């Protein structure tokens, strides 16, 4: 009974944060700001849903822990996707706020491209 | 010893991942996992010459716990920002974080941590690898955000890796 309540709570929390992630994707108004919304859905949203799955497996079945692995793989891969989208934004000079200057008169790695060859 | 077990931590991790994949802890699974844990690091050792030394691996556990807690707290904060703060009031900002870390693996973990905690996304690395570019969703004071990240995550990673 108590375990069922925990499962329901975890499902609701997971659903809520996934929903907030989607709302953020709609509401926020610049590409870089939109990037923040999915990080919520991918961490606490999915994490909470997987937690519900683990509790359910231990309460009603043989028990299972490979959800932990899903979470671990997701936590490793999600930042890489976000990083790539951010890099594309920077590369296209599509950011609303200008980039700050890195220390030592250096340049951000994404902007360090060979000069444009207009070979149209 | 070092030829038999070039990466002791990787061996341990492989056994753990194998048991989780099979989703059982029977003797057969553990033995086969141990076999994989012995063979894979030995076969790949030549392709990863400058593997990071991890002097204090146990602190990695406390680091993960700190990050998980921060993810929880930051999720609620960002949910509030997304739901109740008008777009015009959000002070989204770029934050430059000067790095003290040298090891590429440690910098990757720091960048991943920054992205996983909602509200900040790591966007780029400076060309010479001494600064990280981070985008913050709502940071009225970028310098404070940067110092917080440095103090909370980078200091711990430095203890683990260097």
Regions of chain B where pLDDT drops below 50? 1
Grade residue A120 by pLDDT with cuts at 50, 70 and 90: very low
**Pair A40, A96: CB distance under 8 Å:** no
Counting Cβ atoms within 10 Å, is residue B3 exposed (0-12), middle (13-18) or buried (19+)? exposed
The interaxial angle of helices A67-91 and A46-60, nearest 10 deg, is 170
Give the fold, CATH level 3, of B58-161. Alpha-Beta Plaits (3.30.70)
What is the rounded average pLDDT of the residues A44-51?
89
CA dist A69 and B105 (Å) reads 21
Q: What is the pLDDT of residue B3?
A: 62
Q: For residue A19, what are the domain limits? A: 2-111
Considering only the beta carbons, identify the residue of A83, A97, A102 that sits closest to B93.
A97
Answer whether residue A16 is part of any domain: yes
Q: What is the pLDDT of residue A15?
A: 92
Answer whether residue A61 is part of any domain: yes
**Pair A61, A55: CB distance under 8 Å:** no
Grade residue A118 by pLDDT with cuts at 50, 70 and 90: low
Determine, for residues A20 and B122 on separate chains, whether the beta-carbon distance falls below 8 Å.
Answer: no
**CA B154 to chain CA centroid, nearest Å:** 10
What is the rounded average pLDDT of the residues A85-113?
77
Among candidate residues B94, B154, B149, B87, the one with its CA nearest the CA of residue A37: B87
B150: chain A residues, CB-CB within 8 Å: none
**Pair B67, B99: CB distance under 8 Å:** no
Determine, for residues A35 and B135 on separate chains, whether the beta-carbon distance falls below 8 Å.
Answer: yes
**Pair A21, A41: CB distance under 8 Å:** yes
Pairing mode of beta strands B93-98, B120-125: unpaired
The alpha-carbon radius of gyration of chain A (Å, integer) is 20
DSSP-derived secondary structure letter, A108: B
- Shortest distance between the Cα of A11 and any Cα of chain B, in A, equals 15
Considering only the beta carbons, identify the residue of B72, B78, B126 that sits closest to A106.
B126
Suggest the residue from A102, A105, A106 to mutate for an interface test with chain B (most B CBs closer than 10 A): A102
Please indicate if any CB of chain A lies within 8 Å of the CB of B131.
yes
Q: Mind listing the pLDDT tens digit for each residue in A50-72?
A: 999 988 888 888 778 888 898 88
Please indicate if any CB of chain A lies within 8 Å of the CB of B126.
yes
Helix (H) or strand (E) holding A50: helix A46-60
Answer whether residue A47 is part of any domain: yes
Determine, for residues A97 and B131 on separate chains, whether the beta-carbon distance falls below 8 Å.
Answer: no
Grade residue A10 by pLDDT with cuts at 50, 70 and 90: very high
Domain ranges of chain B: 8-47, 58-161
What is the rounded average pLDDT of the residues A105-115?
75
Q: What is the pLDDT of residue A9?
A: 92
- DSSP per-residue string spanning B64-84: HHHHHHHHHHHHHHHHHHHHH
Determine, for residues B83 and A20 on separate chains, whether the beta-carbon distance falls below 8 Å.
Answer: yes
**Residues with Cβ < 8 Å from B148, sequence gap 6 or more?**
none
Count: domains in chain A? 1
Hey, CA dihedral for B93, B140, B148, A22, is it positive or negative?
negative
Q: Does ipTM come in above 0.85?
A: no
Q: What is the pLDDT of residue B42?
A: 82
Please indicate if any CB of chain A lies within 8 Å of the CB of B93.
yes
């Amino acid at each position: 009974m108590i375990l069922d309540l925990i499962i329901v709570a975890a499902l609701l929390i997971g659903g809520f944060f996934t929903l907030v992630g989607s709302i953020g994707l709609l509401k926020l108004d610049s590409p870089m700001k939109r990037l923040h919304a999915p990080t919520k859905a991918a961490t606490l949203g999915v994490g909470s849903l997987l937690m519900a799955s683990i509790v359910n497996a231990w309460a009603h079945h043989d028990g299972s822990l490979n959800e932990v692995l899903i979470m671990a793989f997701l936590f490793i891969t999600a930042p890489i996707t976000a990083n790539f989208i951010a890099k594309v934004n920077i590369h296209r000079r599509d950011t609303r706020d200008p980039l700050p200057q890195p220390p030592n008169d250096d340049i951000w790695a994404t902007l360090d491209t060979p000069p444009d060859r207009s070979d149209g | 010893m070092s030829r038999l077990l070039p990466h002791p931590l990787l061996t341990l991790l492989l056994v753990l991942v194998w048991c989780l994949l099979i989703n059982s802890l029977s003797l057969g699974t553990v033995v086969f996992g141990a076999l994989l844990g012995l063979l894979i690091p030995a076969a790949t050792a030549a392709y990863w010459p400058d593997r990071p030394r991890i002097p204090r691996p146990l602190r990695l556990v406390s680091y993960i716990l700190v990050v998980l807690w921060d993810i929880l707290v930051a999720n609620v904060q960002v949910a509030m920002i997304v739901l109740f703060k008008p777009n015009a009031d959000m002070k989204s900002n770029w934050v430059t974080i000067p790095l003290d870390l040298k090891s590429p693996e440690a910098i990757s973990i720091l960048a991943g941590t920054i992205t996983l905690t909602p509200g900040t996304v790591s966007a780029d690395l400076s060309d010479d690898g001494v600064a990280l570019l981070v985008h913050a969703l709502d940071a009225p004071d970028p310098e404070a955000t940067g110092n917080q990240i440095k103090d909370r995550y980078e200091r711990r990673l430095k203890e683990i890796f260097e």
